[in-house]
């Protein structure tokens, strides 16, 4: 049975060129990059090269790139630093559709006495900019709003939101885990202070992340100990994974055009085919401003978990939303925030492609998914 992998927003395959670049640093070149001798210096130069490669993906300077273990660590570090460097400010602004890596962190700080504003979205998942503007005050320490939503693929107006924060002297952080490598993010033009990335969402391995910190931003390290990463993150550098992250970033630059053309066309073909062949189905999200690889489709009066189980038997990998909330029988907080009707929200499936997705795979899903929905509707206790 073939495997059709359409859950790339949860994780992505390690690119062959990434894997090949990493292998020597597990065996032949195992020196500590902070060492004074040549054997370590060779490794240190490779880490520096990777930092340049990641910086190039975002049109940033290499000195602004901090390597972490994952997107969640990057998010935690950004929020921690903003709070620690501004003890007089006690307010955080975020959105109601953030990933748990943000929502659970701001909830923690809320329990510590901080005030948190969660900006609402409309029925297409678009940010309420009037509510956002009203939330910004002199007491706001940080705005943290995702660049693109992991469930719907919605792209948020980050440039305008960052400008609005900057006008009031407020630090602006964005979780760009889903957007990185899929769309061009030019940090010379965007007034973003901190930006989080996770390697395994752009064909690098799990266990490596990045936090961009704009030059001049006052920063406090989340992990303390040695002087690695210019004193901004303690711990011996994870050299093989850093090397892999660099190659993945370089590969993303070269393949971004394909993401926005061929991959987007496959997504559109999949989406339109399912809507045409399955009655009482709908797309969740903004049809105009979204990632090129993502669609979130709801099917009325069926359970999302049942859809995923039947797709799994056919070798099709999909998701009912965030990978961090799978297993829950409740509709996702994102769809609830969008006020998607319950009998649709409960039957939502996220399909996310990559540059390795093929037309044959899309044809297979278009052939197999409609009968799955028809079968489940016959068995469903929910009726119109």
Q: Report, as an integer, the average pLDDT of 50-56.
A: 98
Residue 145 falls inside a structural domain: yes
The DSSP code sequence of 276-324 is: HHSSSEEE-S-SSSB-TTEEEEEETTS-HHHHHHHHHHTTEE-BSS-TT
Given this model, what pLDDT does residue 380 score? 76
Q: What is the model's pLDDT at position 321?
A: 57
Same domain, 188 and 218: yes
pLDDT at residue 322 tops 50: no
CATH number of the domain bearing residue 99: 3.40.640.10
Q: Which residues are catalytic?
A: 324
Check whether 34 has a pLDDT greater than 90: no
Predicted TM-score of the model (pTM): 0.95
Q: Smallest Cα–Cα separation from 305: which of 282, 328, 277?
A: 328
- Both 236 and 261 in one domain: the answer is no
pLDDT at position 175 is 98
Helices (H), the chain: 16-22, 38-57, 71-84, 100-111, 129-135, 158-167, 228-231, 239-258, 264-277, 304-313, 333-337, 342-345, 359-379
Place of tokens 């752009």: 202
What is the predicted pLDDT for the residue at 323? 47
Same domain, 326 and 348: yes
Strand partners, 7: 352
- pLDDT surpasses 50 at 324: no
Same domain, 118 and 196: yes
Examine the fold and report which residue of 182, 217, 251 is the final residue of a domain before the chain moves on: 251
How would residue 35 be classed by pLDDT, with cut points 50, 70 and 90?
A: confident
Which residues lie closer than 8 Å to 314 by C-beta, 6 or more apart?
1, 368, 372
Q: Is residue 80 very low, low, confident or very high in pLDDT (cuts 50, 70, 90)? A: very high
**pLDDT computed for residue 329 by the predictor:** 59
Lowest mean pLDDT among 49-58, 119-128, 224-233, 243-252: 224-233
Domain boundary among 251, 267, 292: 251
Task: Give the pLDDT confidence score for residue 335 in this predicted structure.
Answer: 96
Domain boundary among 251, 274, 302: 251
- Asked, for residue 245, whether it belongs to a domain, the answer is yes
pLDDT of residue 361: 98
Tell me: do 105 and 118 sit in the same domain: yes
Same domain? 296 vs 177: no
Question: Are 231 and 83 in the same domain?
Answer: yes
Give residues with Cβ within 8 angstroms of 363, minimum separation 6: none
In a domain, 169, yes or no: yes
Task: Report yes or no on 384 lying in a domain.
Answer: no
For residue 163, pLDDT over 70 is answered with yes
What pLDDT sits at residue 328? 52
> Tell me, what's the pLDDT at 306?
94
The average pLDDT across 123-144 equals 98
Q: Give one word for 340, left, alpha or beta, with left for phi > 0 and alpha for psi -120 to 50.
A: beta
Per the structure, the count of domains in the chain is: 2
* pLDDT at 170 > cutoff 90: yes
Are 242 and 265 members of one domain? Answer: no
86 plus 224 within the same structural domain: yes
Residue 325: is its pLDDT beyond 80?
A: no
Q: What is the pLDDT of residues 260-274, one digit of tens each?
A: 999 999 999 999 999
Q: What is the mean pLDDT of residues 229-250?
A: 96
pLDDT for the residue 36:
83
- Comparing 78-82, 129-133, 342-346, the range with the smallest average pLDDT is 342-346
Please give the residue that has the higher pLDDT: either 381 or 370: 370
262 and 304 in a single domain? The answer is yes
- Asked if residue 131 is part of any domain, the answer here is yes
Residue 33 structural domain: 16-251
Kindly state whether residues 247 and 292 are assigned to the same domain: no
Name 382's Cβ contacts closer than 8 Å, sequence gap at least 6: 301, 302, 343
Average pLDDT, the chain: 95
- Is residue 73 situated within a structural domain? yes
In this structure, is residue 283 part of a structural domain?
A: yes
| pLDDT > 90 in the chain, percent | 92
Instruction: Determine the Cα–Cα distance for residues 157 and 14; give it in Å rounded to an integer.
Output: 30
Domain annotation covers residue 100: yes
Q: Domain holding 349: CATH number?
A: 3.90.1150.10
Q: How confident is the model at residue 174 (pLDDT cuts 50, 70, 90)?
A: very high
Structure tokens at 160: 């305008």
The verdict on 326 and 263 lying in the same domain is: yes
Looking at per-residue confidence, does 236 or 39 come out higher?
A: 236
Residue 224, pLDDT score: 93
């Amino acid at each position: 049975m073939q495997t059709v992998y359409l859950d790339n927003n949860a994780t992505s395959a390690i690119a062959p060129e990434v894997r090949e670049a990493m292998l020597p640093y597990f065996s032949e070149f195992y020196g500590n990059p902070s060492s004074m001798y040549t054997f370590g210096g060779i490794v240190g130069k490779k880490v520096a090269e990777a930092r340049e490669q990641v910086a190039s993906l975002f049109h940033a300077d290499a000195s602004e790139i901090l390597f972490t273990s994952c997107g969640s660590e990057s998010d935690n570090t950004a929020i921690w630093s903003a709070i620690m460097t501004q003890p007089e400010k006690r307010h955080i602004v975020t959105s109601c559709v953030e990933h748990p890596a943000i929502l659970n962190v701001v909830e923690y700080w809320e329990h510590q006495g901080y005030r948190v504003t969660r900006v609402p979205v409309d029925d297409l998942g678009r940010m309420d900019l009037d509510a956002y503007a009203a939330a910004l005050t002199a007491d706001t320490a940080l705005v943290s709003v995702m660049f693109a939503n992991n469930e719907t693929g919605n792209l948020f107006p980050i440039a305008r939101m960052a400008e609005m924060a900057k006008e009031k002297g407020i630090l602006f952080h964005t979780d760009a885990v889903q957007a990185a490598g899929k769309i061009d993010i030019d940090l010379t033009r965007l007034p973003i202070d901190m930006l989080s990335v996770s390697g395994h969402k752009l064909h690098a391995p799990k266990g490596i992340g990045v936090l961009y910190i704009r030059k001049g931003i006052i920063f406090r390290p989340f992990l303390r100990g040695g002087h690695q990463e210019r004193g901004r993150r303690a711990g011996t550098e994870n050299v093989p994974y850093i090397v892999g992250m660099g190659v993945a970033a370089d590969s993303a630059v070269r393949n971004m055009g394909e993401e926005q053309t061929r991959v987007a066309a496959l997504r559109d073909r999949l989406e339109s085919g399912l809507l045409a062949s399955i009655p009482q189905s709908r797309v969740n999200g903004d049809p105009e401003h979204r990632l090129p690889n993502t669609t979130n489709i709801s099917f009325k009066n069926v359970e999302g978990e049942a859809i995923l189980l039947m797709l799994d038997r056919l070798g099709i990998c999909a998701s009912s939303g965030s990978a961090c909330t799978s297993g829950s029988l409740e509709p996702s907080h994102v769809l609830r925030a969008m006020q998607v009707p319950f009998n649709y929200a409960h039957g939502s499936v996220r399909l996310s492609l990559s540059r390795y997705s093929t037309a044959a795979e899309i044809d297979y899903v278009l052939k197999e998914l409609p009968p799955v929905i028809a079968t489940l509707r016959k068995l469903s206790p929910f009726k119109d």
